Amino acid sequence: MRRSGQEFAHKGWAEEIGALGDLSREDLARLWQEAHEVAPPKSLHRDLLIRSAAWYVQAKRWGGLSPATRRTLKAAMTDAERAIAARRQGPAAAGESTSSGMGQTAGPRRKQPAPGARLIREWNGKRHVITVIEDGFVFEAKVYTSLTAIAHQITGTHWSGPRFFGL
């Protein structure tokens, strides 16, 4: 049996949280609207609506995020917005090359280890040593053109080679 939003409002906070699963999607959407001041996306799963409503009930009771946390989040949002805006300005503004002719900037180029460098990775109790050469990598007396191929050889599954070796 689904409960109405009015029944929900008359309970104590612990009972309110426990009763969230009984609310209709419409009531959960109203709680989302109240908490976030915007309607929830239509594709939003019911479980997320319930979690959001539970947070909102607790925030009303205990005050939500601290001022310091709010400042930290606001600063992080500002930094993210600036980074997005800089990316949208395109390669001409940033002096970067593009990965395609569609105006998208290439991500930061990964620093390649210099020839002669040794990459060491322990996997399942075994130490694996890779030597960087001019045209690739040497692993177990065999030359590979990519670290990804070596990571696959070591693990038996697909890995990003640079990520596997911590580059």
Handedness of CA 156, 158, 159, 165 (dihedral sign): positive
Per the domain annotation, does 34 fall within a domain? Answer: yes
Per the domain annotation, does 9 fall within a domain? Answer: yes
pLDDT score recorded for residue 103: 47
Per the domain annotation, does 148 fall within a domain? Answer: yes
Residue percentage of the chain with pLDDT more than 70: 80
Per the domain annotation, does 99 fall within a domain? Answer: no
Torsional class of 30: left (φ above 0), alpha (ψ -120 to 50), beta (otherwise): alpha
pLDDT score recorded for residue 90: 67
pLDDT score recorded for residue 11: 57
The more confident residue out of 110 and 166 is: 166
Per the domain annotation, does 106 fall within a domain? Answer: no
Q: Are 55 and 30 in contact (CB under 8 A)?
A: no
Q: Which of 62, 82, 100 is the last residue of a domain?
A: 62
Q: Are 49 and 41 in contact (CB under 8 A)?
A: no
Per the domain annotation, does 81 fall within a domain? Answer: no
CA distance 153 to 147: 10
Predicted confidence (pLDDT) at residue 7 exceeds the cutoff of 80 = no
pLDDT in tens, 11-42: 566 777 888 888 888 888 888 888 888 888 88
Residues constituting the chain: 167
Q: Which of 62, 82, 108 is the last residue of a domain?
A: 62
pLDDT in tens, 100-115: 444 455 555 567 788 8
Structural domain span for residue 24: 5-62
Give the count of domains, the chain: 2
- CA 99 to chain CA mean position, Å: 23
Q: Residue ranges of the alpha helices (H) in the chain?
A: 5-9, 13-19, 25-36, 46-62, 67-88, 91-94, 147-155, 161-164
Q: Which of 24, 40, 62 is the last residue of a domain?
A: 62
Predicted confidence (pLDDT) at residue 99 exceeds the cutoff of 70 = no
In what side-by-side order are the strands of the sheet with 142-144? Answer: 118-123, 126-133, 136-139, 142-144
pTM over 0.75: no
Per the domain annotation, does 78 fall within a domain? Answer: no
Predicted confidence (pLDDT) at residue 117 exceeds the cutoff of 50 = yes
pLDDT band at 45 (very low <50, low <70, confident <90, very high): confident
Per the domain annotation, does 104 fall within a domain? Answer: no
